[in-house]
Structure 1
Amino acid sequence: MRPNRVAWSFLTAAGLWATSLSPTPSAAQTPPQPDFGACLAQLKGAAAARGISAATFDAVTAGMQPNDVLHFQDEQPEFTTPVWDYMAGLVDQERVDDGQAMLARYGDALGRIEARFGVSRYVLVALWGVESDYGKNLGYRPIVQSLATLSCYGHKPRYYEGELFSALSILQNGDTKPERFVGSWAGAFGQTQFMPSTLARNAVDMDGDGHADIIDSVPDALGSTANYLRKSGWVTGVPWGMEVRLPPGYSGPAGRKAHHPMAFWAARGVKRVDGAPLGAGSAGLLLPAGRNGPAFLVTGNFEAVFAYNAAEIYALAIGHLSDRLRGGGPLATPWPTDDPGLARVERRELQERLAGKGFDIGNRDGVMGTKTRAAIASFQQSLGVKPDGRASASVLKALQDGR
């Protein structure tokens, strides 16, 4: 758990990847039920000190029991998934097509948001696409129940208590309905998966109805996200970064935080892959897969996205998807692997083919959950290869070949 995480994406933290082949935690791992009521009673008193009425607290927590969120605390795919798998699943043609449709649909609202906050519409829509697949996956766990469970039994109870009280304030203010207040395991919710305290600091009512509703109002969600990015240092008119080529044998400085003027990089033979000038300003050199993979000069605006979720490959996915939404192409330099990751349409095909062989893969939705990964591992074992459960091009090819 990283408390500087603004939003815990439903796609990346609770759905698109599973980071373990372990089954659902057993009953022995479930927190002791009798203590939960006593914990809620203590939380009720602390909530009152934060302005939460007893009526609000009781209405939401009546009959509540802890849920199943605790085993997710140590899993975050941004830090456990190969970068080529992560990027293949998040930046695919399907997400580009859907995002361009959203750009057209919400063009007027995005124009107002850009004018007010100066944040690129392409970055906002890319973030929306990565966080909730443009609103298709908002999560399903009740926010208050998850936060109460984590407050009582989680690794960072004080952090989650604060989020719980912010969530209760949202309900008390009428900014959403209790039945709509669902989200990811850690309490993130809405179109762009804000934590409750983040919404409290950045809420924007873009549709003028008197509430900042990031669940059912796309303008409110994107406006609040733009407000957050601006506060995080977004500078209007500056790109997030650009893909570059390094000269042969490059041994100069690297690291996204080691910013130097663009002239510094040009003097060392670093060039944009499209041949355009590097431009003005300063940037750091990001090498997410080392010197043999794609290279990027990233600006301060990359850091603003990084503040949303403190993982370099997350910010890279947002930046690259924003370029694709603007009309750019795939990365020019291939990832240094002979077994690349799969786009979501390929993952669904993989699931269909595994199911056709009699494996129980659960839903055929492109989500690499526990059942799918276990099925892949069993199939790999039958091939005599390492059963790592990874959804890769080689596994799909073997299935297509009828092996």
Structure 2
Amino acid sequence: MSVRNTARRLTALVTAAGLTLALLMPAGPAFADAGFRQWVAGFRSTAVAGGVSGAVYDQSMRGIEPDPVVLEKARTQPEFTAPAWDYFDNRVHDQAVANGQAMARKWKPWLDRIEARFGVDRNILLAIWSMESNYGETLKRDDIMRNVIRSLATLAYGDPKRSKYARTQLIAALKILQTGDIDESHLMGSWAGAMGQTQFIPTSYQRYAVDMDGNGRRDIWNSIPDALATSANLLKRNGWQAGKTWGYEVTIPAGKLPGGAKTIAQWQALGVVRANGKPFRNLTDKATLKVPDGRGGPAFLMIRNFSVIKAYNNADKYALAVGLLADEIAGGTGLVQDWQRPFTKLSFEERQELQKRLSEHGYYDGKFDGKIGDGSKAAIMAYQAKVGLTQDGYPSLEVLKWLRKR
């Protein structure tokens, strides 16, 4: 064999060995996405021009890598895709109401002060707290909470649809670190950068955050008074009308009704009445009729405060869930006309039992949290296929009865 051929063979062996070693080595900062590293370096000047100190930027972005989970989460928006009964069953239920009432008692002195200062119904604030973080329980879950700086940098670099949003929010988040309200290790939030007990995006935090407990920091992560007051401030500054409701469940007459906003008195003249038989509070309020589940489901007259709640999340389902949950926390009895649910509804405890029994049968490996997400639905369908039931994935009393038999 010639010297040249021997050299070629040695080179090939070394290259192969090097490739094998590289494949076996764990990924780390040295192997991070080169494009992302370049983006981080290039965005520094933009952040500094936006008011972020170079030292804060360098410290916060040191060793940062893209978060693949963030891009996966960005693909879903349940407020716009889930059927009515599915969306509301996961958010307005007996456990959320009981927890809200317990929190109302626990935080009453602070709620008294917040309500007096901002004029926002305490039950609305409690409902938002439930919707956003399950009264703070979500903040304890490592599988949900993510580093806000990393999440927003990932979106800014890797999600063209949200890039502009994420860049703006990233600069705002870096400014939060700069003010010292929270340190980087505790700056945790959702995949989209929403933060704290009541889930504020960084720019909204800058605009509305309140130091309600007077300790010199606007801490919506650890201070319940600060978090609830911040939500109240947002609602007040977006036009919340003190002393008024968000809307009413109503019964509508047969036949076509005109659209658009009308006074309650005008709707009443058209045959629209409250579903619980009580009188409307103010006949001069302007209201819009909504039937989110079609004519066979519940109908609602929405007044100004309903639109104000949408300043938090611009989805009708979200605002309606907040309103309905708030009414039940306040002692209301819930809907008169239920959603057009194609099965017999389970209580929150029964939904947890359903998940537990599916787990015992080997179909479900998630948390027994009573929330029926994709994992629970897939488990239900697998069990339904096994026992010969229609594979609809519904968390129904019928499925639970089958599970109890076996």
* Structure-2 residue corresponding to 1:260: 262
Unmatched runs of 5 consecutive residues or more in structure 1: 1-26
Between 1:374-383 and 1:64-73, the stretch displaced more is 374-383
CA distance in 1, matches of 2:257, 2:405: 45
Q: Does the CA contact (< 8 Å) of 2:70 and 2:192 recur in 1?
A: yes
Whether 1:40 and 2:40 are equivalent positions in the alignment is yes
- Write the deviation string for residues 287-317 of structure 1: whole angstroms up to 9, x where unpaired: 1101111111110000001221111111111
**Structure 2 partner of 1:174:** 180
Tell me by how many angstroms 1:217 deviates.
0.8
Distance 1:184 1:344, change over 3 A: farther
For 1:342 and 1:39, locate their aligned partners in 2 and report how far apart those are by CA, in whole Å.
Answer: 49
Aligned pairs for 1:8-27 within 5 A: none
Structure 1 residues 245 and 351: CA distance shift in structure 2, 3 A = same
Do the aligned partners of residues 35 and 392 (structure 1) sit closer, same or farther apart at CA in structure 2, a change above 3 Å counting? farther
Amino acid at match of 2:64: M
- Correspondence for 1:92: 93
Native 8 Å contact 1:84 1:340 kept in 2: no
In the TM superposition, what whole-angstrom CA distance separates every residue of 1:358-393 from its partner, at most 9, and x where no partner exists?
Answer: 224233333445543332232232244554544344
Residue 239 to residue 370, structure 1, CA distance change in 2 (3 Å): closer
State whether structure 2 residue 400 is matched by structure 1 residue 396. Answer: yes
2:148 paired with 1:146: no
Aligned counterpart, 1:81: 82
The aligned runs of 1:202-281 (5 Å cut-off) are 202-247=208-253, 249-254=254-259, 258-280=260-282, 281=285
- The answer as to 2:107 corresponding to 1:106 is yes
1:381 aligns with 2:382: no
Letter in 1 for 2:341: T
Deviation track 1:206-251 (CA, whole Å, cap 9, x = no partner) reads 111111111011111111111111122211111101111122x142
Gap change, CA 1:175 and 1:103, over 3 Å in 2 = same
Q: Is the 8 A contact 1:373 1:389 kept in 2?
A: yes
TM-score (norm 2): 0.86
- Determine if contact 2:32/2:65 at 8 Å carries over to the other structure: no
Matched residue of 1:90: which SS? Answer: coil
Q: Which residue of 2 aligns with 1:283?
A: 287
Q: What is the deviation of 1:282?
A: 1.8
Structure whose alpha-carbon radius of gyration is higher: 2
Secondary structure of the 2:301 match is strand
* 2: CA distance, partners of 1:169 / 1:343: 44
Three-state SS of the structure 1 residue aligned to 2:137 is: coil
Distance 1:373 1:361 in 2: 12
Shift of 1:189: 1.0
From 317, 326, 337, give the equivalent of 1:333: 337
More helix by share: 2
Q: Assess, with a 3 A threshold, how the Cα gap between structure 1 residues 131 and 112 changes in structure 2: closer, same or farther.
A: same
1:363-378 to structure 2, matched below 5 A, reads 363-378=367-382
Tell me the number of residue pairs that the alignment of Structure 1 and Structure 2 aligns.
369
Amino acid at match of 1:45: S
Equivalent AA in structure 1 for residue 165 of structure 2: Y
Change (3 A) 1:158 1:343: farther
Say which SS state the counterpart of residue 211 (structure 1) adopts: coil
> What corresponds to 2:22 in structure 1?
none
Output the aligned Cα RMSD.
Answer: 2.0
Report Cα offsets for 1:168-204 as digits up to 9, x if no partner: 1111111112221111111001010000111111111
Instruction: Kindly provide the amino acid, as one letter, of the partner of residue 324 in structure 1.
Output: E
Letter in 1 for 2:125: L
User: Is 2:71 the counterpart of 1:70?
Assistant: yes
How big is the shift at 1:400?
A: 3.1
Equivalent residues of 1:354, 1:399 under 8 A apart: yes
Q: Which moved more, 1:131-140 or 1:384-393?
A: 384-393
Residue identity in the other structure for 1:187: G
Specify the alignment match of 2:6 in structure 1: none
List structure 1 runs of 4+ shifted beyond 6 angstroms. Answer: none
Question: How far 1:396 sits from its partner (Å)?
Answer: 2.9
| Alpha carbons of structure 1 residues 217 and 360: separation in structure 2 relative to 1, 3 Å | same
- If asked which structure has higher relative contact order (CA below 8 Å, sep 6+), I would say 1
How far the C-alpha of 1:61 sits from its partner, in A, is 1.7
Residue 142 of structure 1: CA displacement? 0.7
- Counterpart of 2:302 (choices 298, 304, 309) is 298
